């Protein structure tokens, strides 16, 4: 943890250095500033957890510094050391979240008690921030899988398809205006050893790369989404709901992107347009594997290699 002492008098800064038991508070770096303006620059650069500051300084007074810290460095804790027993100053300190207001001359017990409170508050909030960050990371890791599971259920489970669609619309995965869709199943070659070796033998990473490449041609235009299909094989599916160009032309462009990046092209099994979500489970259940021409539930499924 870092600390910053702010006072326009060098002797006061030295006194604070001597009076605080920094090791006991596990503060490893102590900086000094002779003005509020200088303090702001140091806070921006070094982000100290604790600021011990004077209220009255020639360049940038304490209230201005407290206001800035409160607005732009909210995690920083500060203690005011002042020669003025002024209620308005105390009130401003409290209003801006100050830990304590200590009068000069500084008593060792008072300053160390205040520092202990400030450090404890900073560490507690830092742990809370760390927990939130870890939770956010876990949620970001889980969210794609959650979306893939929902999209797969939309295809595989006709009983829950309506409820699943509502959740996908609420999550912003599928637009609420989408009334019909096409389903594309992408045939991947799990035995492509040279390609797998490029991904360190990690097939999950390879599928992730293929899905991302496909989505570069879909999501920016808002016409569909590619995802890991959990009802596979095949392992990758594409849901199209707003295609203004020929599907074969879209697949051709996707395959060009795949070839440019991975030096491979994929086979795509394609359904005709059907109602969303009712048509998806029926077409997927009867989609031939390996892909070939077929008629199912009024939807023509064709095999395309581009």
Return the domain boundaries, the chain. Answer: 2-125, 157-305
Q: How far apart are CA 272 and CA 207, in angstroms?
A: 25
Q: Which CATH number fits domain 157-305: 3.30.70, 3.30.750, 1.10.10, 3.30.1490?
A: 3.30.70
pLDDT in the model for residue 55 = 80
Helices (H) and strands (E) in the chain, counts: 10, 12
- Examine the pLDDT at 108 and tell me if it is beyond 50: yes
Report CA 280 to chain centroid distance, whole Å.
32
**Residue entry with tokens 């969210």:** 143
Q: Tell me the pLDDT tens digit for each residue of 194-227.
A: 777 888 888 888 888 899 999 999 988 889 999 9
Q: Does domain 2-125 have CATH number 3.40.50.2300?
A: yes
Q: What is the pLDDT of residues 259-297, one digit of tens each?
A: 888 888 888 888 777 788 877 765 555 554 444 332 233
């Amino acid at each position: 943890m870092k600390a910053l002492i702010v006072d326009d008098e060098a002797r006061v800064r030295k006194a604070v250095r001597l009076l605080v038991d920094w090791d006991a508070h596990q503060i490893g770096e102590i900086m000094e500033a002779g003005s509020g303006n200088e303090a702001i620059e140091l806070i921006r650069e070094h982000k100290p957890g604790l600021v011990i500051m004077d209220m009255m300084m020639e360049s940038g007074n304490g209230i201005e510094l407290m206001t800035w810290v409160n607005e732009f460095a909210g995690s920083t804790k500060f203690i005011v050391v002042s020669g003025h027993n002024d209620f308005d100053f105390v009130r401003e300190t409290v209003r801006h979240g100050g830990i304590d207001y200590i009068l000069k001359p500084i008593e060792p017990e008072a300053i160390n008690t205040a520092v202990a409170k400030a450090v404890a508050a900073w560490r507690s909030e830092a742990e809370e921030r760390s927990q939130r960050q870890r939770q956010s990371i876990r949620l970001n890791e889980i969210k794609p899988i959650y979306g893939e599971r929902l999209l797969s259920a939309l295809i595989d489970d006709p009983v829950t398809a309506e409820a699943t669609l509502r959740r996908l619309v609420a999550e912003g995965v599928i637009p609420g205006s989408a009334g019909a869709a096409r389903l594309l199943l992408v045939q991947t070659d799990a035995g492509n050893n040279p390609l797998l070796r490029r991904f360190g033998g990690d097939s999950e990473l390879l599928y992730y790369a293929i899905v991302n490449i496909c989505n570069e041609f879909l999501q920016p235009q808002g016409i569909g989404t590619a995802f890991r299909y959990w009802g596979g094989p095949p392992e990758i599916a594409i849901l199209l709901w707003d295609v203004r160009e020929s599907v074969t032309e879209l697949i051709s462009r996707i395959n060009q992107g795949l070839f440019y990046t991975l030096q491979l092209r994929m086979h795509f099994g394609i359904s005709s347009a059907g109602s969303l979500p009712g048509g998806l489970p029926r077409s997927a259940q009867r989609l031939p594997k390996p892909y070939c021409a077929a008629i199912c539930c009024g939807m023509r499924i064709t095999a395309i290699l581009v």
